[in-house]
């Protein structure tokens, strides 16, 4: 009972601390999004996941530019295996102020472009070439420098292979860490003196 009471007090204290998102010029965003996570234990045994590590630098307030890697697999016993991959650049734009419904949240739009592909085993459609995606997202800042995110994203691959174009709509969940850049760290040190 003592642990539960301590946990509740800590949660109330943490929520009452004002959260200021670290989306100012010079700061760095590092994290990953996850989608399509499943492991079916019944027959047919299936497994799928997709992970996309990201890093971006805020070139101005609310605008980040960076890069991403993408890898995903979907497989089932006695069935085809689908592997998708990609690497490229990304851009994000955050709304200008905190969302009033959730005091510590920000809406954002993300777009990415690069090189990628989708390969389906056993004679399925394969596409390799231009990889792109775009969509809206929401980041909830648990602390001033940690955000839990969701992103609804349209993804496409246009290029060469047995299929010229493949696309999908994904709902991604992720964790991002917002680190102060060198200029922000120097400003904080100057303010502390």
pLDDT at 179: 93
Residues 16-65: pLDDT tens digits? 334 445 788 999 999 999 988 888 777 778 899 999 999 999 999 999 99
pLDDT at 43: 77
pTM: 0.76
Instruction: Determine the distance from the C-alpha atom of residue 91 to the mean position of all C-alpha atoms in its chain, rounded to a whole number.
Output: 12
Question: Total structural domains in the chain?
Answer: 1
Q: In sequence order, what are the residues at sequence separation of 6 or more whose Cβ sits closer than 8 angstroms to the Cβ of residue 11?
A: none
| 69 vs 19, more confident | 69
What string of DSSP letters covers 89-157? EEEEEE-SS--SSSTTEEEEEEEEEEEEEEEETTT---EEEEEEEEEEEEEEEEETTEEEEEEEEEEEE
Burial (CB < 10 A; 0-12, 13-18, 19+), residue 106, is buried
Distance separating alpha carbons of residues 154 and 152, to the nearest angstrom: 7
User: Is residue 92 pLDDT above 80, yes or no?
Assistant: yes
Tell me the mean pLDDT in the region 1-6: 50
Tell me the mean pLDDT in the region 115-122: 91
Residues 146-186: pLDDT tens digits? 999 999 999 999 999 888 999 999 999 999 999 988 766 56
Q: Are the CB atoms for 118 and 159 separated by under 8 Å?
A: no
Q: How far is CA 62 from CA 70, 108, 136, in A?
A: 24, 9, 14
Q: In sequence order, what are the residues at sequence separation of 6 or more whose Cβ sits closer than 8 angstroms to the Cβ of residue 158?
A: 127, 129, 130, 132, 164, 165
pLDDT at 18: 41
pLDDT at 99: 54
Q: How far is CA 107 from CA 29, 110, 141, 151, 176, in A?
A: 15, 10, 11, 10, 14
Report the CATH number that the domain containing residue 77 is assigned in CATH: 2.40.160.20
Domain ranges, residue 127: 2-192
Percent of residues, the chain, with pLDDT higher than 70: 80
Q: Are the CB atoms for 155 and 172 separated by under 8 Å?
A: no
Q: Are the CB atoms for 176 and 64 separated by under 8 Å?
A: no
pLDDT at 17: 39
């Amino acid at each position: 009972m003592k642990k539960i009471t301590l946990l509740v007090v800590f949660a109330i204290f943490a929520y009452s601390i004002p959260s200021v998102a670290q989306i100012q010029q010079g700061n760095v965003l590092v994290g990953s999004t996850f989608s399509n996570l499943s492991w079916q234990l019944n027959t047919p045994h299936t497994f799928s996941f997709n992970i996309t590590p990201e890093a971006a630098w805020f070139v101005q307030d609310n605008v980040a530019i960076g890069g991403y890697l993408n890898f995903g697999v979907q497989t089932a016993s006695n069935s085809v295996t689908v592997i998708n991959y990609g690497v490229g650049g990304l851009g994000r734009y955050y709304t200008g102020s905190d969302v009033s419904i959730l005091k510590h949240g920000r809406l954002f739009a993300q777009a990415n472009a690069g090189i990628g592909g989708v390969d389906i085993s056993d004679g399925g459609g394969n596409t390799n070439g231009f990889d792109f995606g775009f969509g809206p997202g929401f980041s909830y800042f648990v602390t001033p420098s940690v955000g839990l995110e969701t992103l609804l994203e349209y993804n496409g691959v246009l290029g060469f292979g047995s299929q010229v174009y493949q696309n999908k709509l994904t709902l991604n969940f992720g964790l991002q860490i917002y680190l102060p850049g060198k200029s922000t760290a120097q400003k904080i040190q100057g303010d502390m003196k």
